[in-house]
């Protein structure tokens, strides 16, 4: 009788282990959307490229204005330096030495990122749904919204290919556009160290080992 009871308990234990492991496997695989996110290197800064259709589910700013485009590139930086037509030494110095207002930049296009930026260095990363939501959540929380719930557009409304929106963060020497990008990726679970990501070159160097 004791032998039979022991066998029954062993079978129940194995059944519980199987059920538990199966539920874990299912939850992991159900959370994978394998969404591609591209990081593009410009001369001094980096940008995050997203598929607009997927991104607009988590980033309300994209829902109404950008429906005719397949891809969105998002960047962040000092308001005056980023928006000027002619960058100057003094604008750069001011942005570096004093905390200044910042903006979110949105660039839109339809070609595949590697074709649109065929002369730029690009790294492709894969995200699960949870990671992707965390990435866009980080971005969304840093876009300024007024008391009426409106975004503050700072550039020409008719220029839908390149627009600037006020951010609720300050730019300074140790929080560059590249550090901002690195922090967004880290929030999404990417193994990157924002403290070293002061330059676009360092961001790409850290990400190369994770490219997919």
Q: What is the pLDDT of residues 110-137, one digit of tens each?
A: 999 999 999 999 999 999 999 999 999 9
pTM to 2 decimal places: 0.78
Q: Is the pLDDT of residue 183 over 50?
A: yes
Q: Is the pLDDT of residue 17 over 80?
A: no
Q: What is the pLDDT of residues 190-205, one digit of tens each?
A: 999 999 998 999 999 9
> How far apart (Å, rounded) are the C-alpha atoms in residues 125 and 33?
12
Q: What is the pLDDT of residues 47-103, one digit of tens each?
A: 999 999 999 999 998 887 899 999 999 999 888 767 755 554 444 444 455 567 899
Q: Rounded to a whole number, what is the distance in angstroms from the first to the last CA of the chain?
A: 57
Domain map of the chain by residue range?
A: 34-210
Closest by Cα among 59, 50, 29, 46 to 129: 29
Whole-number pLDDT of residue 65: 84
Q: Other CB atoms closer than 10 Å to residue 46's CB: what's the count?
A: 28
> How far apart (Å, rounded) are the C-alpha atoms in residues 210 and 191?
8
More confidently predicted of 24 and 93:
93
Residue 34 banded pLDDT, cuts 50, 70, 90: confident
Whole-number pLDDT of residue 100: 79
Strand order in the sheet with 71-78: 121-127, 35-41, 46-51, 71-78, 100-109, 162-171
Whole-number pLDDT of residue 85: 52
């Amino acid at each position: 009788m004791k032998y039979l009871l022991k066998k029954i308990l062993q079978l129940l234990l194995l059944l519980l282990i199987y059920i538990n492991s199966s539920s874990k496997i299912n939850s992991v695989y159900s959370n994978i959307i394998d969404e591609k996110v591209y990081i593009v290197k410009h001369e001094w800064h980096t940008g995050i490229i997203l598929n607009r259709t997927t991104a607009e589910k988590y980033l309300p700013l994209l829902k109404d204005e950008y429906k005719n485009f397949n891809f969105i590139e998002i960047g962040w930086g000092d308001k005056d330096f980023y928006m000027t037509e002619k960058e100057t030494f003094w604008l750069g110095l001011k942005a570096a030495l004093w905390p200044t207002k910042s903006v979110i930049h949105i660039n839109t296009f339809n070609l595949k990122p590697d074709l649109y930026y065929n002369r730029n260095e690009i790294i492709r990363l894969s995200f699960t749904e949870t990671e992707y939501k965390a990435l866009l959540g980080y971005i969304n929380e840093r876009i300024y919204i007024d008391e009426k719930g409106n975004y503050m557009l700072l550039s020409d409304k008719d220029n839908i290919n390149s627009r600037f929106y006020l951010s609720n963060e300050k730019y300074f020497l140790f929080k560059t556009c590249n550090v901002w990008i690195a922090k967004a990726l880290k929030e999404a679970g990417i193994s990157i160290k924002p403290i070293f990501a002061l330059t676009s070159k360092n961001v790409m160097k850290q990400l190369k080992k994770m490219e997919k």
